Structure 1
Amino acid sequence: MSHIIILDSYVANLIAAGEVVDRPASAIKEMLENSIDAGATSITAEIKNGGTTFMRITDNGSGIESADLPLAIKRHATSKIRTEADLNSIATLGFRGEALAAIASVSKLRIMSKVRENKFGAQLTVDNGDIISVDTIGCPDGTTIICEELFAAVPARRKFLKSDRAETAAAAAVVEKIALSHPEVSIKFITDGTLRFQTAGDGRLYDAIYAVLGRDFAKKLIPVDYTTAGITVSGFVGDPSTSRGNRNLQNFFINGRYVKCRTAAAALENAFDSYIPHERFPSCVLMIKMMPAFVDVNVHPAKLEVKFSDDRAIFDAVFCAVKNALIRDIDRPELKFAATAKTADDVRARNAFVPVYDRLNDTDGDPKPTEKISLEELEGVFSGKAAGTADAPSPAALKSEIKTDEYKTVTISSLDSERLAAPPAGQPLDFLSGGENIVTSASIPHIDYKASEKVSSEPVPQPAAPSEPIKAEESPLATPPFYRILGTAFNCYIFVELSDRVLVVDQHAAHERIIFETMKENMRSSDPPSQIMLLPIPVPLTTEEAAALEANKAEIMSIGFSWKIDTAARCADMLSYPAQLESEAAAAQIVK
């Protein structure tokens, strides 16, 4: 008995539809691209309930002949390519002939279209892939597509959709990308009867950015225009103040198609390397135009990724375009170094490592004023010869005095020689005493790194010995390893001697990890501690970030956040945040 069968056309269409249309935003994207390919100069997109119950796309394009309407919903039926050679230079947004077929197979679809030369138009009615009727009607020039009850006949697909608000945000993000990619087309977007935005269609990219991304972002743009090796890069990049903690505001368009281009993103970030911190990402709206034969757009089901015949040429074009724009528009102050005398304070502040014994408070009274030393004298010290003398002083005559604002002067030569002597083999180095006070994981004191870093010279009290020995099988920490805090560097790193190795602890990262673990515990609590704002803090969000925020609302609120989305202002008003965070850090974290 044969176990291999050929699926019927209905099941095959459902499978194919899942590759092209996985949510309302995908259907919106495909229909808008068809309208642009038809030469439309004005397009209206309208959705209700996130697009699950109603979507309507109206354009003034070339229209579809009544005889071609039944063919329009067939798989691989297209008017954009004819032969194999056409695939080598695709100049249209669509070309596979799968979009309308996929949408028609999972929804109730009506297509009303009229060609300018005809007196009447035609209407095609389809119910989940089955053609119901083709009627002659009166309608304006162009095409109107109405899609209702998406995935109603495919419950397995519909149950994976997000909330209406999240689906609306996803659809809005798609329409925004289409509007930015073609500023010569006037695009109006309506959600649940409310106008979200409308572009002028005057061909000016700046006007489209102003209408889609807002006035605040548009005011901080730097123009870009560069051509090399047949590649033209034009558009705008945001100034360094518009950098973000993610790449959501990086928009790249290859020949009018929005793509996620890693090569262009890497070039953009390299150009901004010395202008913004490394953990931040620049924003942009860049148009890259090149010969269609040098780019392959048929490598991704949703056509969001492309392949170039020469990645290096794309990288160089984007990098040079952005770097030249930054150099031209951003003035950097001239650095001037004044020849001033260096003091011991300066040397001490710039010392890479601060040992523990150098911070002991073993003298009484105020520290003595430190004499100023010149660079020439320092060079003499390091080279073994003091400045202005014929012979270098003996080692016994040199006393290294190191001082900070918080610690008293310690003369290294005055320390007990036994304390600086090498410890016996097998024993760790103890800077605090002659070996009497051993710091263990149980006795190490708590250090508040936001307060003074002053270390007391008093011995650390030892924990009381347990009345009964702890068995190894009862506790994995029965024999904790000994460790010493050797010192700090750059007010950031802590050096810890542990057995036969040295650990370097980033105290800022450790503090962030403590906050992270605390917030994880808050998620298990029904009432996490949070700080309620007297006045809400507006947090700017892109459409994708607003969609992600709504999609993960329950998890984020369980940490201690609460907010209200302001669609008109393109931001979220933060009402409360976790008590462990500062307000500015909370605003940054909610975006991440």
Structure 2
Amino acid sequence: MPKIKILDESTACRIAAGEVVERPVSVVKELVENSLDAGADRITVTLVGGGADAITVVDNGCGISQEDTPLAFHRHATSKINDAADLGHIETLGFRGEALPSIAAVADLQIKTRTPQDNAGYLMRVHGGTITEFGPTGCPVGTSIAITDLFFNTPARRKHMKTKSTEGGLIADLIYKLSLIRPGVRFAMEQRGREVFRSPGTGKLLDAIAAVYGVEEAGMMVPVTAVEGDITVVGYVGKPELNRSTRQQITVSVNGRLVRSSTVNQALEEAYKGLISIGRYPLAVLQLQLPPALIDVNVHPAKTEIKIENEEQLAQLISTTVRRSLRQTNLIPAVGSNLINKPSLPATAEPFKLSFDTADNKKTTVPHNVAYDSLLPQAQPECVMEILKYIEHEKDELPEPNDAEPAGDPVNMESQATVGAAVKAVVGHLNETVTTEAQPDYRGAEFPRLQVVAQLLNMYIIAESEGSVYLIDQHAAHERVLFEKYYEQLQNNTPQVQYLLVPLSVNLRAHEKELLWEYRSEIEALGFVLDDFGRDSLLLRGIPGDSSPGKSERLIEDMLETIVEQGKPGGLGVKFALSALLACKAAIKAGEKLAIQAMQSLVEQLAAANEPFTCPHGRPTLVSISRRELSVMFKRA
């Protein structure tokens, strides 16, 4: 008896549904794309429970005839292609004939549809792949599909969905992006009995951008247009000041299809190189038109990843065009409360509330007007001058300080090696003991007892201990200290708040406000004080003690993106990610000059940390150069 057997239709649909229908947003994507293929210019999406409880999509497209409606629920039944030859020039969003049978296999689905030629509509209900009801019904021209009881027969998938607010946020983000790539279609989204979003449907992309991001942001967008052979690129990109912490707000379409493209992302990042900080990404909406024969959309079940024949040419065109458009635009930021940065403190001031008092470290008080050189060991004047002369002579070979650190990128070992080489060449002249001052009693037994000597390139702290020289990344070190502080606040609900003299009104989209409210306990534990201030607004009364008031709105935007990526409230992943985000934003940046006392205090706080050797993103906080390594370098070994 043969062991291999052909699976029945119901089982095959359940398997296909696992690839096509991952979560509620997958259902909405497939249904809305069907509506667009049907020529609809008005599409309404209604959600209950963020799409986890119910989804309804209504359009005014061409509808489906009574004869075709049952066929639409058979696998690989489609009106969009006829044979394999058509796969080489696909011009519709759907073509596999998998969406409707896959959705119906894992949910309760009801469809009402009518064509312009019919006087009556047709109703069909399918539960778990089985037709349970069908017949004529009254309805307008177009199609209405209602989904309930999603994943009723796949409980494992339902269990691992994120919260209803998070799932609803993913659907909202999809509708926003579809509004941007199809500005001629009027999209509407309803939730909890009210309309939370509507695009104008005027056909003008800038109108759609204003509906999604706001009028102020739309005014900061730069038009982009380019034609090269058969390739056309049109759209808008944001001025450098209009940036985000992730690539989530880069919206790209190819021939009207919403896609994710690493090629386009890299081209945009190349165009913005030197214009925005490392770890920040532009806001952009790009619509690409290519001959269908040059692209392959039959790559991924969700059809969001495609293959392009001439990717290098496309990347070069995008990068060149965007860069040229930015160069022709006045990029001087307008002065506003959201653009005010934290002022740089003088080198002798105490930055970022670093405490200089330690329990077992008795220091001599140094007046603020004492010269910087006088804070260094007086027994080594030639050594100090040699360090300063060497750095001045070699400064062109050393990496330039950057005002922002990457949020999660791997450490650049080449840059560290360069800085290390500069220091190795001069610190060999330091004596074993640079001070007779009492050494602090650090909590961590394995962390070296460090005495700060100087600051290098306003990026690194030079310290000495027991015959070794240490280079400490001031940003990574402070980031570790603040991360553990914020994480402890989240665990124990012990916020440190600085209240604003003038509360700040923060305007959000409906799903963003719901997300913040759902994660309110975590956000308040970090030090934010928020009050409801109307339909889609919140009143910000307090912020974390180490944060800058001028960056509060951007920080909230970044927190929302972090929450969407992480998942359920109360989870360790969310707490870790939020703590790391706030620590990165509030930490001392490369390029900030620090006083000796401030650097010593930072080193002591780092030593007291639970995990002092790396920042929350895994980059090292310090590196060491031993006496033996220095001796070998100077050929003393």
User: Does the alignment reach a TM-score above 0.5?
Assistant: yes
Q: Deviation of residue 418 (structure 1)?
A: 10
Q: Deviation of residue 14 (structure 1)?
A: 2.4
1:282-293 to 2 correspondences below 5 Å = 282-293=282-293
Matched residue, 1:41: 41
Structure 1, residues 33-55: CA drift from partner, whole Å, max 9, x if none? 00110111222222222123332
- When residues 12 and 577 of structure 1 are mapped into structure 2, their CA distance, relative to the original with a 3 A threshold, is farther
- When residues 548 and 499 of structure 1 are mapped into structure 2, their CA distance, relative to the original with a 3 A threshold, is farther
In structure 1, what residue type is equivalent to 2:244? R
Task: Check whether the contact 1:40–1:185 (CA below 8 A) recurs between aligned residues.
Answer: yes
Q: Deviation of residue 66 (structure 1)?
A: 0.5
Q: Deviation of residue 416 (structure 1)?
A: 7.8
Matched residue, 2:263: 263
1:172-571 to 2 correspondences below 5 Å = 172-330=172-330, 406-407=370-371, 459-461=436-438, 477=445, 485-497=452-464, 502-531=469-498, 536-538=503-505, 556-561=523-528, 563=530, 569=536
In structure 2, what residue type is equivalent to 1:65? S
Matched residue, 1:378: none
Matched residue, 1:88: 88
Bigger mean CA deviation after superposition, 41-50 or 530-539: 530-539
Q: Deviation of residue 235 (structure 1)?
A: 0.9
1:76-155 to 2 correspondences below 5 Å = 76-155=76-155
- Taking structure 1 as the reference length, what is the TM-score of the superposition? 0.72
Structure 1, residues 542-568: CA drift from partner, whole Å, max 9, x if none? 788768757766655554445468795
Q: Deviation of residue 513 (structure 1)?
A: 1.4
Count residues with an aligned counterpart: 484
d(CA) in 1 for partners of 2:319 and 2:489?
A: 44
SS where residue 329 of structure 1 aligns? coil
Structure 1, residues 161-193: CA drift from partner, whole Å, max 9, x if none? 333322222211111111111111122222222
SS where residue 45 of structure 2 aligns? strand
Task: Check whether the contact 2:268–2:319 (CA below 8 A) recurs between aligned residues.
Answer: yes
Question: 1 or 2, which has the higher helix percentage?
Answer: 2
Matched residue, 2:630: none
d(CA) in 1 for partners of 2:516 and 2:299?
A: 30
Q: Deviation of residue 284 (structure 1)?
A: 0.8
Task: Check whether the contact 1:249–1:542 (CA below 8 A) recurs between aligned residues.
Answer: no
Structure 1, residues 493-529: CA drift from partner, whole Å, max 9, x if none? 2123456754321223211211012122223324444
In structure 1, what residue type is equivalent to 2:438? P
SS where residue 195 of structure 1 aligns? strand
Q: Deviation of residue 251 (structure 1)?
A: 1.0
- When residues 277 and 53 of structure 1 are mapped into structure 2, their CA distance, relative to the original with a 3 A threshold, is closer
Structure 1, residues 213-252: CA drift from partner, whole Å, max 9, x if none? 2212111111111111321111111112211222222111
Task: Check whether the contact 2:183–2:208 (CA below 8 A) recurs between aligned residues.
Answer: yes
Structure 1, residues 392-415: CA drift from partner, whole Å, max 9, x if none? xxxxxxxxxxxx9750777x9x97
Matched residue, 1:369: none
In structure 1, what residue type is equivalent to 2:459? C
Residue 166 (1) aligns with residue 169 (2): no
Q: Deviation of residue 24 (structure 1)?
A: 1.9
Bigger mean CA deviation after superposition, 33-42 or 243-252: 243-252
Task: Check whether the contact 1:17–1:106 (CA below 8 A) recurs between aligned residues.
Answer: yes
In structure 1, what residue type is equivalent to 2:184? E
Matched residue, 2:156: 156
Residue 70 (1) aligns with residue 70 (2): yes
- When residues 477 and 119 of structure 1 are mapped into structure 2, their CA distance, relative to the original with a 3 A threshold, is closer
Q: Deviation of residue 130 (structure 1)?
A: 0.9
d(CA) in 2 for partners of 1:536 and 1:207?
A: 30
Residue 55 (1) aligns with residue 55 (2): yes
Task: Check whether the contact 2:238–2:284 (CA below 8 A) recurs between aligned residues.
Answer: yes
Q: Unaligned regions of 5+ residues in structure 2, if any? A: 334-363, 387-426, 560-637
Task: Check whether the contact 2:186–2:199 (CA below 8 A) recurs between aligned residues.
Answer: yes
Bigger mean CA deviation after superposition, 515-524 or 214-223: 515-524
Bigger mean CA deviation after superposition, 49-58 or 481-490: 481-490
Query: What's the RMSD between the two structures over aligned residues?
Result: 3.7
d(CA) in 1 for partners of 2:463 and 2:265?
A: 39
- Taking structure 2 as the reference length, what is the TM-score of the superposition? 0.67
Structure 1, residues 192-213: CA drift from partner, whole Å, max 9, x if none? 2211222232211111112222
Task: Check whether the contact 1:166–1:550 (CA below 8 A) recurs between aligned residues.
Answer: no
d(CA) in 1 for partners of 2:236 and 2:372?
A: 55
Bigger mean CA deviation after superposition, 124-133 or 480-489: 480-489
Task: Check whether the contact 2:225–2:234 (CA below 8 A) recurs between aligned residues.
Answer: yes
SS where residue 266 of structure 1 aligns? helix
Task: Check whether the contact 1:184–1:202 (CA below 8 A) recurs between aligned residues.
Answer: yes
In structure 1, what residue type is equivalent to 2:239? D
Task: Check whether the contact 1:25–1:167 (CA below 8 A) recurs between aligned residues.
Answer: yes
d(CA) in 2 for partners of 1:253 and 1:83?
A: 26
Structure with the bigger RCO (C-alpha within 8 Å, sep 6+) is 2
d(CA) in 2 for partners of 1:275 and 1:209?
A: 22
d(CA) in 2 for partners of 1:420 and 1:527?
A: 44
SS where residue 35 of structure 2 aligns? helix
Q: Deviation of residue 109 (structure 1)?
A: 1.4
Bigger mean CA deviation after superposition, 211-220 or 543-552: 543-552
Q: Percent of counterpart pairs with the same letter?
A: 36
Q: Deviation of residue 579 (structure 1)?
A: 3.6
d(CA) in 2 for partners of 1:543 and 1:320?
A: 37
Structure (1 or 2) with the larger CA radius of gyration: 1
Bigger mean CA deviation after superposition, 287-296 or 537-546: 537-546
d(CA) in 1 for partners of 2:474 and 2:511?
A: 34
- When residues 295 and 485 of structure 1 are mapped into structure 2, their CA distance, relative to the original with a 3 A threshold, is same
In structure 2, what residue type is equivalent to 1:289? Q
- When residues 241 and 551 of structure 1 are mapped into structure 2, their CA distance, relative to the original with a 3 A threshold, is same
Task: Check whether the contact 1:170–1:544 (CA below 8 A) recurs between aligned residues.
Answer: no
Matched residue, 1:376: none
d(CA) in 1 for partners of 2:555 and 2:59?
A: 41
- When residues 301 and 553 of structure 1 are mapped into structure 2, their CA distance, relative to the original with a 3 A threshold, is farther
Q: Deviation of residue 139 (structure 1)?
A: 2.3
d(CA) in 2 for partners of 1:26 and 1:557?
A: 33
Structure 1, residues 13-71: CA drift from partner, whole Å, max 9, x if none? 22321221222221111111001101112222222221233322222211111011111
Task: Check whether the contact 2:184–2:204 (CA below 8 A) recurs between aligned residues.
Answer: yes
- When residues 319 and 546 of structure 1 are mapped into structure 2, their CA distance, relative to the original with a 3 A threshold, is farther
SS where residue 179 of structure 2 aligns? helix
In structure 1, what residue type is equivalent to 2:330? I
Task: Check whether the contact 2:240–2:331 (CA below 8 A) recurs between aligned residues.
Answer: no
Q: Deviation of residue 280 (structure 1)?
A: 2.1
SS where residue 488 of structure 2 aligns? helix
SS where residue 172 of structure 2 aligns? helix
Bigger mean CA deviation after superposition, 89-98 or 323-332: 323-332
Structure 1, residues 469-504: CA drift from partner, whole Å, max 9, x if none? xxxxxx9948x8676544222333212345675432
d(CA) in 2 for partners of 1:330 and 1:508?
A: 32
Q: Unaligned regions of 5+ residues in structure 1, if any? A: 334-361, 367-403, 423-427, 440-458, 465-474
- When residues 495 and 130 of structure 1 are mapped into structure 2, their CA distance, relative to the original with a 3 A threshold, is same
SS where residue 116 of structure 2 aligns? coil
